[in-house]
Amino acid sequence: MELLIWAALGLIVLGGLGLLLAAFKTSVLWGLLVLFIPPAAILFLILHWQAAKGAFQLQLLGLALVFAVSYFSSGSIDPRDMRRAASVQNASNVLDINNGRQSQSAPWQNQSSNSASNTAYRCDGRVHCSQMTSCAEATFFLRNCPGTKMDGDGNGIPCERQWCRR
């Protein structure tokens, strides 16, 4: 998408140069006016449409491309944002007493007070014991983050060989 934005900006610049060249071809005075006084470009465009329409259309094409790319890329999601959103969603999948409804909770999630909001750790995509720095960190990841691979025997204690020895 970034490449399309650069191409669109290139079209706008080329159109501007084309308009400036058309103004200088008409006369040196028009060229200087368009170069140094921006509203003169609009006046030149109106008065000398035939000479300037190609450059103007090129600029419009570039502008339309910028808007189209901006519009369509605004809905794209970075995978890191998806993981963050999933961890926030999973942290909120607990009994909502105020509204009187219960949300489904993932089986790996601990519904105790150890939620993602009251700890120094956050789900950031790490899933292996070798990526952890402490037993507390590994325990947080196992309880709050999806897709972890730190509890091989399924007893709820992560990284027993590296961090959480009994």
More confident residue, 78 or 142: 142
Region 109-133: mean pLDDT is 69
Mean pLDDT of the region 82-103? 43
3-state secondary structure of 101: strand
| pLDDT single digits (tens) 11-25 | 999 999 999 999 999
Any idea where the domains of the chain sit in the sequence?
2-73, 87-144
The mean pLDDT value for 123-145 works out to 89
Higher pLDDT, 87 or 7: 7
Q: What is the pLDDT of residue 56?
A: 95
Confidence of residue 107 (pLDDT cuts 50, 70, 90): very low
